[in-house]
Structure 1
Amino acid sequence: MILRYFTAAVLAWHWSHATRGGVVVVAGADRVAVVYNLRIRSSECIYDQFQAKESVTYSVFVESESHGQPKATISFEGPISGNEGLHPDLGTMEENHGGIQQFNQLGRELRKGAVTHWPNIKDKDKGVRFDKRAGIINRELIADWTHAGEHEDAELSRLEARRKMKEHLSSTPKSDFVKTMMIDRIEPFEETHLIKADGWYRLCVKSLASKLLVEMDLRSSSQLGGIDKETGHVYTHEERATLDENVLLKSSDASPVESSDAAPVVKVDEDLERHLEQQIKGTDLLPTQTQAKHLVSLVAEMMKMHDEHKRRVRSHRASARRNYDGVSRSGWLETLLYVVVCGFQIYTVRKWLLQNSLLSGNI
């Protein structure tokens, strides 16, 4: 149990990357994170099925593979399929096209549902948006990690940025205008949504003007056991593993654990039983359990700090490359400008000297 955490801590320093097409598989101790390699103006999506009344958190972290900006368009929408009961009052079949009957799927509802069905339902729930009432999620934004971590000493600036982000997330988008979110910290961008309609949902990330390495994940409260009160998002896989270990340590007593591979228990003599009776009490393991819990929390904190440090190093390396390119371009421009100015000066001086020599010859 504790050995598994030590193994996780060791393996965290030795990630194994296997490239398969446009996907980089990052193998950890307990789970596998998929990092997508996006070309310029390309997109990747992940899909998952969720039930109503559960919360879902999506997490996206973007790194620039080349010298471009770590900037991408993030969209979370659904249900895109499996929502036959979304509009039961409107029927389950759409119009007949060429003798083929088509089911109501939200892939089409996202495009034309608000226009097609709005006259039929606009008076049922006054003051409530059609997509909000039906449970349609169509969230899209642009996240920019270009300046993440550059002003970490300015606490007031970070607080102001967080306040604006909370105001933006709490406000319901009323137009198709896509806003740009400036990420102030080197960490994944996360949002939590309450699912109102059953079906399949998708999270898509699209690169804008540079090659990107994108890590994205969908976490369900029904699978990971709820929402973290401190962050307001669904528990991560690492946090869930730590909580399970704490519960296991708390529930473990001094009673031996039976193993399926263990040999049959041999009955000891009555004299030996009498001598061994009351030798080990349940309270004797309390200090050990306390130390084990503390060790589990320390290992989990170390893994979290390692992940944050790894992201920070990669982000600073990409920022250094961008700054180097900018300085290099500025140097080339200054050198070119210097050559042009020097050439113009030489031409001007030479022309002036020639004019003076001609004037002196005439005299």
Structure 2
Amino acid sequence: MMGRKWLNSCCWLLWMWVRLSESVPLSFTIDRGNKECLYDKLYEGEHVTMSVFITSGNALKGKAEIAGPVCADNVNTGSELWAQVELFDQGRRKEAPALQEKHMVDYEDLPHLIRYDDLGVGDDDGDDRFGDDDEIDTDDMYYYYDMEEENPEWMGHYDDDSISKEEREELMTQDKEIYTEKVEKWKKIREAKELKRNQKKAHLTLTAKRKKRAELMEMAEGGPFQRTYLIKKAGWYRLCLVADHYKITAEMEMRKQSELGHPNRNTGHLMTYERFEMLKEERKVTRQHRYELNKAVDGNLDPNSRKELVQPSDVEGLNGQLKKIHRLLQEVKEKQQREKHRLSVSAAVNEHTHAKMVMNSLFETLFYIAISAYQVYTIRRWFAGGPMLG
């Protein structure tokens, strides 16, 4: 009887876990030349992740900007916040913003950006012939000193008249050997430092390119444009999206560390609110399971009956399996959402490409008609002036 009760409870919990959170990014429709913003209070030392995804529009482009603090953290009313925001937009705040970053969010030309990244175009291309990305260490330049240049360690023997010519030559020979050893030592030190610097530069360049490509590929697969920043000053911050080109519809979200925990070690971004709610629900259900089990065990004082009850190890194993199922369902939902975004972007880009092809074809047709008409007009004038040709 107890086992059936636990089975029914587990089925109910599974159904509850399938019901995922409704915490989704806010959707905005932004007219051309306008902007929409999100505001949130952030604390010093915490991370914030901005997330932007453009779902539709005549051109899937927009300019995202995160800035702040737009006002102090002691502002608690909407009217005060709005007044401070107006001062911030007019540049009349005394304090300069601690964070102000602008990014071009472009889903329209994403395939072109990925192809451009595949070409490896950039400044740090490993070619040092032009010296555009070389780091010169002036401390190592003494390595190039020639043996005939002035050196106080052994040139002083030339002016010493208290020693004989043979002794002077012997001392000069010894000093030259010592100096040669030092030069060789300096040369090895410089080569080692240069090798280490080149390896570090190559690693940073490769890491940056891989990170950039991973971000582009994630956007191509239906993911949002994301950036994470460390807040250096407490206050109200805002995330804005400006529709520079055409009217667009976009999803925006600001995720902060004080609500979601530390950034992910692999991505560097904070988890979504949806995933956070999933983890919180898991912990809640696990605690409830343990509480009901302990209550059932403590309420049954018969030792023989206790053996027939579900054991804590069984419950922990069942909780682990349910967590796996729950997280698998969450991953399926996230993949479905990404696929939906990817298809919407692909459909919009294909529609825009088709419209451009139609316009180009129409322009080429009109241009061909104009050229043909001009040729007919020129030939007609040529024949009309035929008697003048003799």
State the TM-score bracket (shorter-chain normalisation): 0.5 to 0.7
Cα gap change, 1:109/1:335 in structure 2, threshold over 3 Å: closer, same or farther?
A: closer
Equivalent in the alignment of 1:54: 46
Which of residues 220, 224, 227 is equivalent to 2:260?
A: 224
RMSD, aligned CA:
4.0
**Unaligned residue ranges in structure 2 (runs of 5+):** 1-12, 76-83, 124-203
Whether the 8 Å contact between 1:2 and 1:296 is mirrored in structure 2 is yes
Whether the 8 Å contact between 2:18 and 2:326 is mirrored in structure 1 is no
Please say which structure displays the higher CA radius of gyration.
2
Cα gap change, 1:154/1:74 in structure 2, threshold over 3 Å: closer, same or farther?
A: closer
Q: Which amino acid aligns with 2:101?
A: R
The DSSP-based 3-state class of the residue aligned with 1:277 is helix
Equivalent in the alignment of 2:234: 198
Q: Distance in 1 between matches of 2:261 and 2:108?
A: 34
Equivalent in the alignment of 1:42: 34
Q: Distance in 2 between matches of 1:331 and 1:302?
A: 42
Q: Distance in 2 between matches of 1:74 and 1:154?
A: 22
C-alpha distance after superposition, 1:294-323 (max 9, x if no partner):
111211111111121111111111111111
Q: Which amino acid aligns with 2:45?
A: K
- Residues 1:337 and 2:367 aligned together: yes
Q: Post-superposition shift, 1:247? A: 3.5
The DSSP-based 3-state class of the residue aligned with 1:256 is helix
Task: Select the structure that is richer in strand.
Answer: 1
Among all aligned residue pairs of Structure 1 and Structure 2, give the percentage whose two residues are the same amino acid: 22
- Residues 1:244 and 2:275 aligned together: no
Q: Distance in 2 between matches of 1:165 and 1:107?
A: 40
Whether the 8 Å contact between 2:114 and 2:216 is mirrored in structure 1 is no
Equivalent in the alignment of 1:6: 18
Cα gap change, 1:3/1:311 in structure 2, threshold over 3 Å: closer, same or farther?
A: same
Identify the structure with bigger relative contact order (alpha carbons < 8 Å, sequence gap 6+): 2
Mean Cα displacement is larger for which, 299-308 or 192-201? 192-201
Which of residues 298, 301, 313 is equivalent to 2:343?
A: 313
The DSSP-based 3-state class of the residue aligned with 1:210 is coil
Which of residues 65, 86, 90 is equivalent to 1:75?
A: 65
Task: Select the structure that is richer in helix.
Answer: 2
**Superposition pairs of residues 164-203 of structure 1, within 5 angstroms:** 185-186=219-220, 187-203=223-239
Q: Post-superposition shift, 1:231? A: 1.2
Q: TM-score, length-normalised on structure 1?
A: 0.64
Cα gap change, 1:73/1:195 in structure 2, threshold over 3 Å: closer, same or farther?
A: same
Q: Post-superposition shift, 1:159? A: 11
Q: Distance in 2 between matches of 1:159 and 1:228?
A: 29
Q: Distance in 1 between matches of 2:268 and 2:34?
A: 31
Which of residues 307, 314, 318 is equivalent to 1:278?
A: 307
Equivalent in the alignment of 1:141: 103
Q: Distance in 1 between matches of 2:247 and 2:366?
A: 30
Q: Distance in 2 between matches of 1:165 and 1:328?
A: 41
Whether the 8 Å contact between 1:221 and 1:235 is mirrored in structure 2 is no
C-alpha distance after superposition, 1:249-274 (max 9, x if no partner):
65565552799xxxxxxx88x7xx45
Q: Which amino acid aligns with 1:244?
A: K
Cα gap change, 1:37/1:343 in structure 2, threshold over 3 Å: closer, same or farther?
A: same
Q: Distance in 1 between matches of 2:122 and 2:340?
A: 26
Q: Distance in 2 between matches of 1:154 and 1:215?
A: 27
The DSSP-based 3-state class of the residue aligned with 1:60 is strand
Whether the 8 Å contact between 1:72 and 1:142 is mirrored in structure 2 is yes
Q: Distance in 2 between matches of 1:230 and 1:74?
A: 24
The DSSP-based 3-state class of the residue aligned with 1:140 is strand
Whether the 8 Å contact between 1:147 and 1:183 is mirrored in structure 2 is no
Q: Post-superposition shift, 1:43? A: 0.8
Cα gap change, 1:71/1:320 in structure 2, threshold over 3 Å: closer, same or farther?
A: same
Q: TM-score, length-normalised on structure 2?
A: 0.60
